[in-house]
């Protein structure tokens, strides 16, 4: 199971908490998924009046680790300010760092992301950066102090799966000792399984479960897919071949 900043996580599946049809469905989806981490946007809470107290109580009842995020931030300054507020409110140094650079694709701004990551790491935050699969950017994030990387599979909410298998595989090979999480773009359990087969440590998703016709069933499906993919990676799967190879030995077969 993954270890993030020294903390053992009991599941390779991480879930977001937005867009569910009801709090009851959110809670049951989490239970069925076995997810070990819930991502929560600061915008769901009000620092002074605690207007989101009912929601926060629900998350606490789930008994999972909370990963606050800076969703919706479009500059390093905005993300850093949001992260500081999140640390005070949620009483954790963990922060999922998002600095959005493109309004249509929600692609991270690599320059703002690196600037914010360096500042937050210097302030003692344990940063989970939402990034692309760009190798140079990821190297700079690690140099800045990030001990986890969260490259996207595809743009947030698209369900397109893993758009750049080569890039994701290259990251895994280049950072064998850094926990890697595919974050965003997964739409089907099979896509999550594929991420695990590439050797990734976990996947993070929200829309695929929350917006499914049956979120609870979809959560259960992702839980099983992630486990299957992790087992496949651990089992050292066979390499693909260009030619067919008989599974039944020809030696000793009678020829008529």
Active site residues: 96
Residue written as token pair 């743009």: 155
Query: Which residues, other chains included, contact 227 with Cβ-Cβ below 8 Å and sequence gap of 6+?
Result: 12
163 is in an annotated binding site: no
Kindly list the distances between the CA atom of residue 22 and the CA atoms of 45, 63, 83, 113, 214, in Å, as whole numbers in the listed order. Answer: 17, 19, 27, 33, 12
Is 144 in contact with 117 (CB distance < 8 Å)?
yes
**47 marked as part of a ligand binding site:** no
* 76 annotated among ligand-binding-site residues: no
Known binding residue 101? Answer is no
Query: What distance in Å separates the CA atoms of residue 129 and residue 116, rounded to the nearest whole number?
Result: 10
Please count the CA atoms within 13 angstroms of the CA of 90 that sit on its side-chain side.
31
The answer to whether 185 is annotated as binding is yes
Question: Beta partners for 100?
Answer: 108
**Known binding positions:** 157, 184-185, 206-207
Binding site feature residues for 1-deoxy-D-xylulose 5-phosphate:
157, 184-185, 206-207
């Amino acid at each position: 199971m993954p270890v993030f900043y020294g903390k053992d996580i009991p599941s390779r599946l991480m879930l977001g908490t937005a867009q569910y049809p009801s709090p009851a469905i959110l809670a049951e989806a989490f239970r069925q998924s076995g997810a070990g981490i819930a991502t929560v946007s600061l915008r769901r809470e009000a620092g002074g009046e605690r207007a989101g107290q009912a929601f926060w109580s629900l998350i606490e009842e789930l008994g999972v680790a909370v990963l606050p995020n800076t969703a919706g931030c479009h500059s390093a300054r905005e993300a850093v300010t949001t992260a500081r507020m999140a640390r005070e409110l949620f009483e954790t140094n963990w922060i999922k760092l998002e600095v959005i650079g493109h309004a249509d694709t929600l692609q991270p701004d690599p320059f703002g992301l690196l600037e914010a990551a360096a500042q937050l790491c210097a302030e003692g935050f344990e940063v989970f950066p939402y990034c692309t699969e760009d190798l140079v950017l990821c190297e700079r994030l690690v140099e800045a102090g990030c001990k986890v990387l969260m490259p996207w599979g595809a743009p947030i909410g698209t369900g397109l799966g893993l758009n750049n298998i080569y890039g994701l595989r290259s990251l895994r090979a280049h950072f064998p000792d850094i926990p890697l999480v595919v974050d965003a773009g997964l739409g089907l359990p099979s896509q999550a399984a594929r991420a695990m087969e590439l050797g990734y440590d976990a996947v993070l998703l929200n829309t695929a479960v929350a917006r499914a016709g049956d979120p609870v069933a979809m959560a259960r499906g992702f839980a099983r897919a992630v486990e299957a993919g992790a087992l496949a990676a651990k089992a050292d799967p066979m390499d693909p071949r260009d030619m067919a190879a008989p599974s039944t030995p020809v030696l000793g077969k009678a020829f008529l």
